[in-house]
Amino acid sequence: MDKQIYFFPITVESLEEGGFLAMCPSLQGCHAEGETYGQAIENIQDVIKLQIKARKKYGDILPNVSVPTKTELSFSLPLPVFI
């Protein structure tokens, strides 16, 4: 079976108790936590994969998500610098 690539927008926010919460607004109920940004993103990827597989299995529709055609991507991200 050929692999497909899906693009879904996510948001990642810090949690008061520590760690991060990643959410995919396009897929209802799709969220995951992680101790770091990277872990939260890896975890939401796993959750998105599971949701796509389940939707395909049961014949549910996947939402259409538009991807910007710009070649540049801009976002703000806190960058820790240890001295």
DSSP-assigned beta bridge partners for residue 22: 12, 32
Distances (CA, A) of 77 to 14, 16, 37, 69, 74: 11, 17, 10, 22, 10
pTM above 0.95, yes or no: no
Q: What gap in Å lies between CA 39 and CA 83, rounded to an integer?
A: 24
pLDDT tens, position by position, 2-44: 678 888 889 999 999 999 999 999 999 999 999 999 999 999 9
Question: Which tokens hold the place of 9?
Answer: 């927008």
Cβ atoms within 10 Å, residue 8:
18
